[in-house]
Structures are given as C-alpha cells and as structure tokens.
Structure 1
C-alpha cells in the first residue's frame, strides 16, 4: 500500500514506492533500504515480472563452450571480434570465459555483446508460472 506525502513535499501528492515489506522507501536517496525491493510477485491485472536476464541464463549454463560475438564502436583495429571459450562466470555487466587450449581467461563487457551461440542444448529457467523447472 502506497503512502501519501504532504502536498508539495518533495513533489505533489504522488504515492511513495514501498519495499516488499510495505515500508516506505527513504525519500531522496534513490536507493531501496537493505533487503531490496520485492521482485517476482505477480499482481492481478498486470503482466508477470520478467526475470530472464542474460546473466541469469548464462549462469544456468556455466561450464559450456560458447562462441561470443562482440562489436566495438570507433575501433580502427577491429570493429568486430569473436571469442570462443568455456563459460566461467556471468554478471550484470560482464562475462568471463576461458580458452581450454591456452588457459587464457577473458573478461568481456556486456555493453559490447551482440549474441552468443552454444554447440549444445541450453538450460533455461522460464521466468513465469512461479519459475517452473529448467526448460529444454
């Protein structure tokens, strides 16, 4: 349930966002309190929350061989580059792969990612219907 703030403080009487525990967010901080916001809750008459971010899909497939296609704007030496390796880790803004032949590890930025291919079947957790098991 949203709480009302007095008119004009700091904005006209708009609802104040709340956390998953129905506590109002601190005004002016821009950050939710410790514990974060409640996610993955389906509200009647609204679309379900989307949770299939790229890094989550990649985390389900750690250890698999991947071919990663990247582009780098305004780069005179190489505009596009292809990396192949074993998927080691994935975060919101990066991917780590290793080349099994050389042992070289690559930290790749998601901002340059075009797409990724795999030579084998992927594990994928469908984000709707309460996270029904892995999809193949």
Structure 2
C-alpha cells in the first residue's frame, strides 16, 4: 500500500513503506462430495449422456426465423456436449443440434437420472 504526503512544493510524493514478505498459502480445495457430483450431473448434457442410445423426441425452436421456427426430431442420442447434441433418427439420418435451441425432450421409457 502506498501512502502519500505533501512536500513543500505542494506535489504529492509516495512515502516508501517497508516491504512485508507474503507467504503463499495453498488454496482451500474441497474434496468432491456426492452432493457436488449430483449437482454437476444435473446439467442437461450430462443427463443426455447418461441416456445415450435411448430414443427421445427433441423439441427445438429458432427465434426470428419465419421459414423454420420450430423443429421436432425423434431420434437416438448418440452424444452430447456442453453446447450440442448429436441425434440419429430411425432412418439413420444424423443431426448436430445446438443446445441453445433445445426446449425440452420427452422419452417413452424411463430415463437414467442419478440423484
């Protein structure tokens, strides 16, 4: 911290402060708890990953697009990332869809969801 004092000319001058040696302290790292792991698993991409291979109906909307403002895809989950999901419909056609457009997903069977 620098403190200022006034000398006769009227301009502030920094007053030197004795330097204190700072010790590095290790960060407080908390071990991963089951509760923390559960909270992380609740993200949509993790839920989709836990249900890889299942057939679901995915509802997407695209704002300000008059020609193609909604899309429904019934397909199998092949992969899911933080910002995308890869689906394949029963005919084998594959879709790479962005999560920002995903509204919701329905499944005709029980889904895997670990709490």
Normalization by structure 2: what TM-score? Answer: 0.68
Q: Report the equivalent of 2:108.
A: 119
Structure ranking higher in helix proportion = 2
Name the count of aligned residue pairs.
Answer: 89
Give deviations 1:71-127, integer Å, cap 9, x for gaps: 0011010211101111100011000000122x110001000010000110001111x
Can you give the 5+ residue segments of structure 2 that lack an aligned partner in the other structure? 3-25
Structure with larger Rg: 2
| TM-score (structure 1 length as normaliser) | 0.58
Aligned CA RMSD, in angstroms, stands at 2.5
Post-superposition Cα deviations, 1:21-66, rounded to whole Å, max 9, x if no partner, equal 728xxxxxxxxxxxxx867448xxxxx5421100111111000001
Which runs of at least 4 in structure 1 moved beyond 2 Å after TM superposition?
A: 37-42
Structure 1 unmatched ranges of 5 or more: 1-5, 8-20, 24-36, 43-47, 127-136
**Greater strand percent: which structure?**
2
